[in-house]
Amino acid sequence: MQTCYLAVDIGASSGRHIIGTVEHGVMALHEVYRFENRLIEKNGHLCWDMEGLVQNVIEGLKAAHDAGYTPTTVGIDTWAVDFLLLDADGTPIGDPVAYRDGRTAAMREELEPILPFTKLYARTGIQYQSFNTVYQLCALKKEHPEQLAAAEHFLMVPDYLNYRLTGVMANEYTNASTTALVGAISKDWDDEIINRLGLPRKIFGRISTPGTKLGNLSSAVKDYVGFDCTVVLPATHDTGSAFLAVPARDDKAVYLSSGTWSLLGVENKDPITTPASMQANFTNEGGYEYRYRYLKNIMGLWMIQSIRRELNGVSYVEGKDTHQQTDEDELPPFTHEAIEWGFPDLIAHAKEADSFEAHVNVNDDRFLAPDSMIDEIRRACFETGQDVPQTVGQLMRCVYVSLSSCYAESIAEMPSLTGRTYTSINIVGGGCQDAYLNELTTRACGIPVFAGPVEGTSLGNLAVQMIADGAFPDLQSVRDAIATSFDVKRFE
């Protein structure tokens, strides 16, 4: 039987189980399970359905076995910053609040006298985002101090899923680095920051690196799914995995992981924590083999996904009534057809509105979790004195122009910060399939775009598993195999 590996890749809106194989240096992927991931409203907060995620992870393992695969290893990657607290018995404390919740809105200002952001950035190199883990923990401390007092363990989302599979607790480096609690240089929990914020140091465990073999499936999981395998830590932050799959031609390539979020940047050997870098709001996330992902988090396809859901009457929050657009006196009406909107429909309408040039700041927190993405974009255009989108095509054109302009502005900032010039953009992830966005991006940035592979995050996840198992000697050999195994399209 051919050796195979299983990547469990979970994003903010969906998850998938991907089997990976390699034969004569050629990699192949087989999707065996897919599921939806949506938020729920609980106790006044937006939360993740963690038990639903755990069950879907396990069901996906069973689906792989039912499809005839017995993976040698399995690795899980998810989004960053969110976490669970566990008590001494390993039971979760409180609700798994999601980063899109508004509880952290004023935390940076509240913490400034205790821990100025200039110091936080200088020590951790992590860009400001209102939902950073450091702010989430401080918001939790303010609202529910009893939960922190009862906590014995801090696990990020993939850490917790691994724990439920194996019974082993471990904090993985690439995800831990996004908390703004890990030193950029030390690569370990920063005790000074933790102490200044009055957080319990005991909850933060030893940090493990990608490639670590965590353990085998627990007996209960093994009996249910029908096989046993070793759980290996990939770069559990999905961007960390996605960057590993970029088949870049040289060190002058910009990487863009395009999905719900757009993560745009480069790999560096050392962190850049200068005042100029802080001002430009670039981040230094930890990567495989202690590479640094020097990048910007950009809102990404979330805006497009939200528009599509809203047009189709589906909320991104489980069980929440779909918002109906408001007819505000100062805004012109918004009209659209009552059809089932797909992404190709949205793209086609955007192309038809190619003369519409209004744009918004896609990184504005107002677009994180609005009741209506359509309303919020229209209001933003109105408030800045621009034409207000009145059709689906104009709305989509606004988002596309805004995204590609943000990519161009971010790339233009990078040479003065890194000392390097950049001659291409390499896009991986589901967003690389959007040819219209690729065309606008190469036009805005003035350099060619190389789009693919689509399943970049799963490939990066699998790459670490394959190296750990000896299927490849090192990362470069895997990247070479990815370049020859999967289609990459050029736009210029």
Whether 127 and 297 have beta carbons less than 8 Å apart is answered as: yes
- H-helix segments, 267-342: 275-280, 302-311
C-alpha to C-alpha distances, 1 to 21, 71, 216, nearest whole angstrom: 11, 11, 20
Select which of 95, 238, 375, 434 is catalytic: 238
**Closest alpha carbon to 84 in 156, 137, 148:** 156
What are residue 385's phi and psi, to 5 degrees? Answer: 75, 25
Catalytic residue at 474?
no
Question: Using CB atoms within 10 A of its CB, is residue 346 exposed (0-12), middle (13-18) or buried (19+)?
Answer: buried
DSSP codes joined into one string, 354-400: TT------TT-GGGSS-S-HHHHHHHHHHHTTPPPP-BHHHHHHHHH
DSSP codes joined into one string, 93-155: ES--B-TTSGGGTTHHHHHTTTS-HHHHHHHH-PPP-TT-HHHHHHHHHHH-HHHHHH--EEE
Q: In what order do the strands lie in the sheet with 213-216?
A: 26-36, 14-23, 5-10, 73-77, 230-232, 213-216
Q: Which residue has the tokens 């599921």?
A: 35
| Cα 386 versus chain centre, distance | 31
Catalytic residues: 238
